[in-house]
Structure 1
Amino acid sequence: MSKSEQYHLYFLVSTREDGSQNPYVESDRDNTGSTINSEISSFISLLGPKLTDGVIFEIYSCNPFTSINNGYSVEGSFEETVEIFSPPPRAVFNNGGSDVVIPVQDFIDILYEWKNFLLSLPYKHSLSNR
């Protein structure tokens, strides 16, 4: 099982009426109908390979594994942000109420999986140049 699937995130492609195909992230719903980890999917959904690399670089640049961070903010899609804290190194997404907290390494793994998914698509898509 991939790291993204462990967090109920799935990388898919939709086909528009004009035939263009666009990658997107979907997440499961819990038994109340609420989307699980929608904050994570919203954060990465419009990141192309270059922007994903930029986010990964920015996370590593704040040294979350070796220094103390008190809320270093990194911006993603739709002006969504994640705050990086340590120790322990963790990514914190705020959904307007309770925080969604995952280990930083899990978040980095998800970002790499997203980038690899985008690069594996055999055609140019809406995120190719992002």
Structure 2
Amino acid sequence: MALSRVDLAERATKTVAFVKKYLMDEDGRLLRSAYRGNDGSVDFTGAPILAFSDDYAMLVQGLLDLYEVTADASLLKQADQLQKKMDALFWDSERHSGYYMSEERADVKVRVMEGPFPLFSQVSQQ
């Protein structure tokens, strides 16, 4: 293991498990947030908020970074699946650019394309 702080790798592994359990639906879409209930349980209040493109990109990068530390091949598979889902939801192949929000967001009237701030296509190209 390349990381001298094994506890950090363990914490990151637990975080990945939490995301898969609580912040990913059966179709592999990410949710933006969850809340802690009064009893410490994970609580979803109201309608779930779908994740943005940068949420996907940062998680893909995190999975790849964790793979470099742990050499757990399942992390590569997870990163690949998430990257494919991100491309399907956010990438515009005609414009060779990406959107910040997916078309699935019913509450959004206009989809914002990437601008000068770092979003998923810049992070995912690393």
Higher strand proportion: 1
Length-normalised TM-score, structure 1:
0.33
* Greater Cα radius of gyration, structure 1 or 2: 2
Higher helix proportion: 2
